[in-house]
Structure 1
Amino acid sequence: MMDDEAGQLSMLLAFRAENTYSFYDELDFSLEATAQAFNEYWCMFDVDEFPNLPETYQLAAQHDIKIAVSNPCVELWFLLHFQDQTAALERGPAQTLAKRYLSCGKSLTPDALDQLVQHHGVAMERAEKLDNKHEGDGSPACSNPSSSVWRLVERIRNQ
């Protein structure tokens, strides 16, 4: 979206980190190349195969980057659009269930995107309930299952 007064793009940058080192390389390149183009930076990733969470959180905080995390994987976020999920879940079952609902994998079809948009509100409520559940039972933030992808989606929707 164009900001008429400043003449700058008001956009969000989202990229996926494979590990802390590629995250740093992408971050360094992205910040250098787009320093004036974006007003907010996000990093989105799954927990299922990401070994360096503490370093990533620290690095993101140092650079004022917001984080959207799904635990165990992004398919949990998809799943929350269709059902509650309060028990811990492994990646394989989450992917199978999400695929059953969406009829596709991570490469979303237009029909799958329409379904996600249609059920976004309930997915957001379910994700927030999971955050409250973890807070209430004393489990760490971002415990399995959890997803903060809704925060990134909300920022994009409100631009």
Structure 2
Amino acid sequence: MMRLRLNERILILCEGTTEYLYARSLQMELPRSLQRAVSIEIFFQSQNDPKSLVSEARRRERAAQSERNPYDTIWVFFDNDRWPQLSQAFELIERYGYRAAYSSMCIEHWFILHFEQCGRAFANGEEAIRYLRNLWPAYHKTKVNAYHELRERLNTALNNAVRINQNQDDTLPIHRRNPYFTVQELVDFFEQLKLKDI
């Protein structure tokens, strides 16, 4: 069984509040001793785009290294939202060896997958939110704990994401695939953490 070092550090830097709340819910399912290893933060900036998010993750990584307390794993949690710098963000993620919890077009499409296999290419986040509210009328971006509300449907979402991703043209760069998801990789990462023994 893999062992988590006592000083192992994991950073999950989130684009917004919805992503933050989702990641925090995943963290709260960990044993308390493992929860301390995971730092989940929101990056607030006037231009809150994925490229800036990755650049901020890099800044925090360097600061942690200079403090001699480096991160072992860094995640950036964001969605497409038609940001023009998306391709550059993915290039930097690959260059720095980060992990991406990503949803195209928006995280609400990830929530839709908990109800159905929706391979629709939403034009924007507002369109996806309207679609989601037909399936889940109580949804509100920051007033609902989406992870806990949808927990019993999580396996459905995981399976739907895999099927949808398999149907995408894998010659296209990730930022051009719509829909496309890697949020399931973050969920799996937390499941793997639960299996680690301190």
Fold shared by both chains (TM-score > 0.5): yes
SS in 1 for 2:103: strand
- Per-residue Cα deviation, 1:93-115 (whole angstroms, up to 9, x for no partner): 211233441613222524x3323
Q: Quick check: 1:10–1:38 contact (8 Å CA) kept in 2?
A: yes
* Residue of 35, 51, 54 corresponding to 2:84: 51
Report what 1:94 is aligned to. 128
SS in 1 for 2:168: helix
Residues of 2 paired with 1:20 and 1:146: CA distance?
16
The runs of at least 4 aligned residues of structure 1 exceeding 6 Å deviation read: none
Residues of 2 paired with 1:72 and 1:22: CA distance?
18
Shift in Å at residue 63 of structure 1? 0.9
What's the Cα RMSD here?
2.6
Gapped regions of structure 2 (runs ≥ 5):
16-42, 194-198
Report what 1:148 is aligned to. 182
Mark the CA change 1:20 to 1:126 in structure 2 (over 3 Å): closer, same or farther.
closer
Q: Quick check: 2:10–2:73 contact (8 Å CA) kept in 1?
A: yes
Residues of 1 paired with 2:77 and 2:114: CA distance?
18
Residues of 2 paired with 1:102 and 1:38: CA distance?
39
- Per-residue Cα deviation, 1:34-91 (whole angstroms, up to 9, x for no partner): 3435321111211123111221111111111111221111100011011111222232
TM-score, with normalisation over the residues of structure 2? 0.66
Which one has more relative contact order, counting CA pairs under 8 Å at least 6 apart?
Answer: 2
Aligned identity (percent) is: 21
Shift in Å at residue 153 of structure 1? 1.7
Aligned length, in residue pairs: 154
Residues of 1 paired with 2:190 and 2:64: CA distance?
18
Residues of 2 paired with 1:9 and 1:107: CA distance?
30
Report what 1:22 is aligned to. 52
Residues of 2 paired with 1:73 and 1:86: CA distance?
13
- Per-residue Cα deviation, 1:102-132 (whole angstroms, up to 9, x for no partner): 613222524x332322111110110110111
* Residue of 59, 75, 78 corresponding to 1:42: 75
Equivalent residue letter for 1:95: I
Residues of 2 paired with 1:153 and 1:14: CA distance?
15
Mark the CA change 1:133 to 1:11 in structure 2 (over 3 Å): closer, same or farther.
same
TM-score, with normalisation over the residues of structure 1? 0.80
Asked if 1:11 is matched to 2:46, the reply is no
